[in-house]
Each structure stands twice: as structure tokens, then as C-alpha cells.
Structure 1
Amino acid sequence: MKRIALALTLLATPVLAQDPAEAARAAASALEQASMQLDAAESARDRVRALTGTVKAYEAGLAAMRGGLRDAAIRETELTRRLQSQEAEIAQLLGVLSSLGGRAAPSAMLHPQGPVGAARAGMMLASVTPGLSAEAQALRADLDEVTALRTLQQSAAETLQQGLEGVQQARTDLSQAIADRTDLPTRFTEDPIRTAILISSTETLEGFASGLSQITSDEVPTELPPIEDRKGALGMPVQGQILRRAGEADAAGVARPGIVIATRPEALVTTPTAATVRYSGPLLDYGLVSILEPQPDLLFVIAGLEVAYGRAGEVLPEGSPVGLMGGTPDGTNPAAGASPSVEGGGAGRTETLYIEVRQGDRPVDPLTWFASDKG
């Protein structure tokens, strides 16, 4: 883990854009902190918290590395195209420089017309030589930058592969730690028969949400930290890019009141605040769903998971894992996401997560609760 953190720091070089570089440094720092928390973890809950931080740091670091690789690839492409467009000029420049040899000073030039011709030639060369030297230096700088970019990309691809292997192991460890965790507070016990009846009699998410109180038994009041003052500032449950906002129709013309986020395969989904798990399992055509209740009459519906963590009735601390997205891990292609032509459009984000927020009996725009600077 420490080796990957060091690699992330080394990747944050001046060659890359500032944002990916800063993100890589931040991810490396987070990975180091998660490593120390993991070493100090004494309980299953502590281990889950540390491993959650580890997975999120890996994901942030890998995203930064992909961003850096993309910027490096774009820059290399720009330089290569510019050099290719100047091939004729470069050939002439090299020819002139070769003819001048290593002693291009005007005083070293002799002219067949004698001293006057030599003086005139010297004056001409005195004005031309600095320009030739500047062009040669610019060409050398471009070639050196292309070489440095290619070396960087080769090194970063290897580091990226190590990071992908590391995050896969961290996800496996996290799943096991969650399975071993038994110390979470429980607010109620789910009645499986009532749950099955509710699911079979429900045709809409709204109908299911309104009947959630019917599937509980032995419920005890539980006060969670208020979040009204954090409205509009809660972090997104997953790293990704918003594909559709509330009310926007999909390709089939279906409009839903939630948002759809494109994520990378096996991305970790966490709860943005402490919440009670009201339901966790398959539901209608939404796939695996986790319904969280951070406060009375407020539900966060998170749908489209491949793996769901947490059991109905459990009270999850803020930042706890809710589940994992599906898809094939992109470790089969270490340079995935480095293509300058497609990465900016969300390539590599092959999975979609649906988030709906319900207050009382009606849905509200999730972005009134969650902060997002990505469109």
C-alpha cells in the first residue's frame, strides 16, 4: 500500500496538469492515513472504516492517474502533430545547421569577394543565426518533452496496474470485514414475510417507500445527527459523472425524479451521512437497492448496485459502505482512460447508479441535498 502511495506522489509531476497532480498527492496522503488506521484498527467497525478509506483513496488516486495520463497523451499528440507539420522546415533547419557546423560565429566565415563580402555575409549571419539557434532550441525542447511524456506514460501505466490490483484486494478485504462486523446498533428487526408481501404487491418505488413502516418490528426510536444545515452540501455517495438530472428523459423517453450517475466498474458507494438502512435488496426493475433514512420523513434511495452492504434496521455511521457497482474491472487494460479522444466524455464509466430523494410522500430533486460540480 505504501509503495502505491509513493507511486501516486511521484506521478504528480510538473509534466501533468495541476489538478490531476494535486489529486494524486491528496490520494497518496489519504492512502497513507488509511494504512495507519488499518494498522491501529481493533474492532470490526474500525477495520471497515479503515478499509473504506483505503478503497476510496485508491479510487481517487486511480482517477487522478487516469487524468494525468490523459493530459500527457493529449500533450504528446499536440507536440507530435506540430512536429509532423513542420517536417520540411525541420529538415531545412537541420541542413543549415549542418552546413554551419559547430562554429557558426560570423568571424569564422570567409567570403570569396574578400573582406567587404565577408563583412556583409557576417552581418547577414549575425541576424539569421540567433533565429536559427532559437528554432533549434525550441525543437530540442519539444523533442525532449515528447520523450519525457512517453517515459511518464509507460511508468504510470505500470503504477496504474499495481493500483488496480491493490484496490481489488482492498475491496475483497472490505467485504470480509463487513461480513465480520457485528457491533452496529440496530433500530428495528425486518419481518421477511411482510417484506415479501410488500414487494409482491408493489408496482412502483413510491408505493414501496410508503409501505416501509409495515415491514418492521420491535422498532426503537433512534436519534441521528441533524443534517438540515448540510442541505445542498452532502457529498455524492459515489465518484462519477451525472448523466441525467431529475426529470430528464432517458433514451426510451422515461423520466424519473432522481439522478443517474455514471461510475467506473466496481466503484464503492457510501452513505453521505449517518442513516438507518430501511431496506436492502432487489426491488422492481431497479436492481439491488439500498434505502437509507438519515432523519424522519427523508429517504435516500440508491439503486443499481451489484453488491449491497448492510441489513435493514442497522444504523450506519457516515461514510459507511452501502455497496459496490457492477461491471468488469478495468484492470485488463492498464492504460484504460488514457485516450484523449474519449476519456473526457466519460469513457470507462460503464455503470450507472440511480439516486432518488424522497421527503414525506413525494420525491425532490436530489441536487437540493447533494453537492455536485460535475454535469
Structure 2
Amino acid sequence: MIRIACLIVMMMAGMLRAEVDARPDARVAARDAAQRLDAAARQMDKATTAKDRVKALSETVHAYEDGLDAMRDGLRRATVQEQRISRELKAREIEISRLLGVLQSIGAAPAPATLLHPDGPVGTARAGMVLADIMPGVNSEAASLRAQFEEVTTLRLLQKSATETLQKGLVGAQEARTALSQAVADRTDLPRRFTADPVRTAILIASTETLEGFASGLSQITDAEGGAPLPDISHRQGTLPLPVQGQVLRRAGEADAAGIQRPGIVMATRPQALVTTPTAATIRYRGPLLDYGNVMILEPQTGLLLVLAGLDVVYGHAGEVLPAGAPVGLMAGDPALSGEILQETPAGMGIGSGNRRSETLYIEIRQDNTPVDPELWFETDKDD
């Protein structure tokens, strides 16, 4: 019996500890995410009375997006961690049951029987030394098992709490987007560089078959252009922030599923993600165009155009000058889908992808009417 216990302890020794040491602390991640969502909620309260409500609410939406991403990540890690521990314990049911049997038999045997050995006093002494050697290991592994069972319980409670926090965060984010849309609609203090001619714009759209043709004709459809000249931002190449939170799905020149190559990049974003201008710029055009959906064309400097295509909602009017970080629109999609990471699994509460980026934003930069790689201007992980 003692030899069996030795074998079991040796077989399990280190494995449980390695598993515990390798696990990321999902509880810390979830707690940090909850704090960020709570901060976003407080920021929302302040934004409603801020002097520059558009700026304050834009920052609030971004704060919610950051917090929700962090909460999804923490919830995903907690669920993966719980499922991994459960699978580990299930895979070791035989070893665990044998270890428990050994412990029960040792504990149930009368003290004199435990001390006696068929080989006499020498055998008894040897058995006692072996028992003394393995008991710390047996106790250690028993403690590790108990800790794992307790952690499974803790992680399941954490998942429930994180799910509730995530749902509240989704509601808060949607309220912030609604308030932002209203604040943009009420805004009247933006300077204007020109007044667009709707008739000439409509004619240009009707006669245009490509984005390139439309962009080249933009300079011909404005009246009374004035104001200060646009500043040169060439020194900021490679440092501009991306206009939306997301991941680069396709780089410039990479073919899509249909084999079509475009000179811009495609960003994968979450539903209803906020799109902002990376630098101060004039709105040259906003509205539907060809098969690109809603398009926003910004002019950060003379001869440089930033094209954002695929938005659901666009803000502002042609001719307005936007400050850096100003909202220009929202992506499409059902905001409820951005919380769609939970699903029922045999183990209980589980996760789906946890990283649902179902919308795409096309970003193109044209310099002197020639497309250039947007990653020359934006900070991206191009080496990844």
C-alpha cells in the first residue's frame, strides 16, 4: 500500500504545481477590467455636463470600448482556465481515486497494524521511514488537489460576476454612443473651409465609377474655399493613431476572398465601434459612395486625402474642420453581438470566440491623387 502511494505521488508530483504556476491570473484581469468599466461609467456622468461634450463623450466611448475588451479578455481567460482545470482533474480521476484510497486506508488502519510489518522489526522500521518520506509529498499533492477544486469554484463565481459586469458595460457603452450622436448633432461651433455644392456633388457621384475618379474630382465641387491653409503634417508619418480600435485584417495590396486587391488596408472592428479622425482635418465628403457603403473623406493637408469606407453612421458636414480625435462615425452591427462570448457548454458557462470583430473599415490614403500605403502614416504592427 505504501509503495502504491509512492508511485502515485511520484507520478503526480510537479504536474499539478506546474499547471498552477502556468495559469494566468484571470481574477486580476477581470478585476482590472471591472475597474475600467466603472471608471468609464463615472466619466459618462461627467461628460454630460462637460463644456466640450463631443470630446468628452468620444473619450467616454473609447473608455467603454477599452473596458469591454479587457472584460471580454478576463472572462475568456477565466473560462478557459476553469475548463482546463476541470479537464485536468477529470483526466486524473484514476490517480486521484487511488491517492484518496491510500489516504483513507492509512487513516482507517489501527495504529498498531500500521506499525507492524511481516518482516519483523527491521521491516517495520523500513516501512516507517518510507512512510515518513512520502507523507509530506502525499499531503502536498492533497493540498494541491484541494486548491484546484477550490479554484474551479472560484472561477465559476468569477464568470457569473464578470458576465453581469459585461452586460452592464454594454448598456453603458450604447448610452454613451447615443449621447455622442446627439452632441454631434447639436454642435455648431466648428469652423468651415468651404461650402459644398450638393448639385455638383451629385453629378460627380453619378458620373464616377471608381473611388480614384471620385477623389480626383473632389477639388472641382467646392465653392468659396477659404480660411487658413492646411498645415503640413508630413513630419507625422508613421505616428498617426489608427482611426478605429481593431486589428489589421488585410494590408495594402493583399487580395481578398474574391481576389480583388486594393491599395488600402482593411481593419476588423467590433460592432458599433467609434471611428475618429487621427489628426485635424477638413471633411471633403461624407455619405454613400459606389459599393463602399458610407464613406468619409478627410483632408489633413493640401493634396492628402484620408478615405474611410464602410461606416454605418457618419457625422459632420462637408467643409467643416475637425480637431484631432473628433468622431466621424460609427461602424455597423448590432451592439448586442459585441457581448456574444457566452454559450452553454457541457462544463457549464463557456465562451465563444471572445473576440468578435464582425465589421470592416477600409482605409485608404491618397497623396497628390496617388494611393500610398496607409501603414506609412499610421502606427501599426506591420512586423507581426
Into which bin does the TM-score normalised by the smaller protein fall? 0.7 to 0.9
Alignment of 1:342 onto 2:353: yes
Equivalent runs, 1:343-362 vs 2, <5 Å: 343=354, 347-362=355-370
Task: Note the aligned Cα RMSD (angstroms).
Answer: 2.7
Asked if 1:169 corresponds to 2:178, the answer is: no
Per-residue Cα deviation, 1:176-220 (whole angstroms, up to 9, x for no partner): 111111111111101000000111111111111111111111211
1:370 is the counterpart of 2:378 = yes
Alpha-carbon contact 1:279-1:291 (below 8 Å) kept: yes
Question: Partner residue of 1:330?
Answer: 336
For 1:62 and 1:366, the matched residues in 2 are separated by: 28
The offset of 1:72, in angstroms, is 1.5
Trace 1:262-273 onto structure 2 (pairs within 5 A).
Answer: 262-273=268-279
User: 1:190 is matched with which residue: 181, 192, 196?
Assistant: 196
Offset at residue 241 of structure 1 (A): 1.1
* Alignment match, 2:26: 16
- Give the distance between the partners of 2:57 and 2:291, measured in 1 at CA: 31
For 1:1-375, list aligned pairs within 5 A: 15-16=25-26, 29=39, 32-33=42-43, 35-36=45-46, 38=47, 40-42=49-51, 46-101=52-107, 109-111=114-116, 115-224=121-230, 226-330=232-336, 335-336=341-342, 342-343=353-354, 347-373=355-381
SS at match of 1:123: helix
Query: Alpha-carbon deviation of 1:131?
Result: 1.6
Q: Could you tell me how far apart the structure 2 residues matched to 1:224 and 1:320 are?
A: 17
| Structure 1 Cα separation of the partners of residues 132 and 53 of structure 2 | 72
Q: 1:348 to 1:332 in 2, by over 3 A?
A: closer
The structural deviation recorded for 1:268 is 0.7
2:225 is matched by which residue type in structure 1? E
Q: What amino acid is the match of 1:138?
A: S
Pair 1:109–1:193, CA change in 2 (3 A): same
Deviation at 1:110, TM superposition (A): 3.1
User: Secondary structure of the residue that 1:312 maps to in structure 2?
Assistant: coil
Q: TM-score, normalised by structure 2?
A: 0.84
Structure 2 distance, partners of 1:184, 1:89, is 71
Distance (whole Å) between structure 2 residues aligned to residue 182 and residue 157 of structure 1: 40
Assess if the C-alpha contact under 8 Å between 1:157 and 1:334 holds in 2. Answer: no
Residues 1:107 and 1:134: Cα distance change in structure 2 (over 3 Å): farther
CA deviation vs aligned residue, 1:291-343 (integer Å, no higher than 9, x gap): 00111111110000000111100011111111011112235855459966734
Offset at residue 132 of structure 1 (A) = 0.9
Distance 1:284 1:255, change over 3 A: same
Cα distance between partner residues in 2 of 1:53 and 1:331 = 22
- Distance (whole Å) between structure 1 residues aligned to residue 105 and residue 72 of structure 2: 45
* CA drift at 1:223: 4.0
Give the stretch that moved more between structures: 279-288 or 16-25: 16-25
Find the counterpart in structure 1 of residue 20 from structure 2.
none
Q: Structure 1 residues 151, 297: closer, same or farther in 2, change over 3 A?
A: same
Cα distance in 2 for partners of 1:25, 1:274 equals: 32
Report deviation, 1:112: 5.8
The structural deviation recorded for 1:115 is 4.9
CA deviation after TM superposition for structure 1 residue 168, in Å: 0.8
Equivalent residues of 2:263, 2:371 under 8 A apart: yes
- Pairs aligned (count): 354
CA drift of 1:25 comes to 5.5
Find the aligned partners of 2:49 and 2:334 in 1 and give their Cα distance: 33
Structure 1 residue identity aligned to 2:58: T
* 1:289/1:301 contact within 8 Å kept: yes
Contact kept? 1:34, 1:53, Cα under 8 Å: no
Q: Secondary structure at the match of 1:211?
A: helix
TM-score, normalised relative to structure 1: 0.86
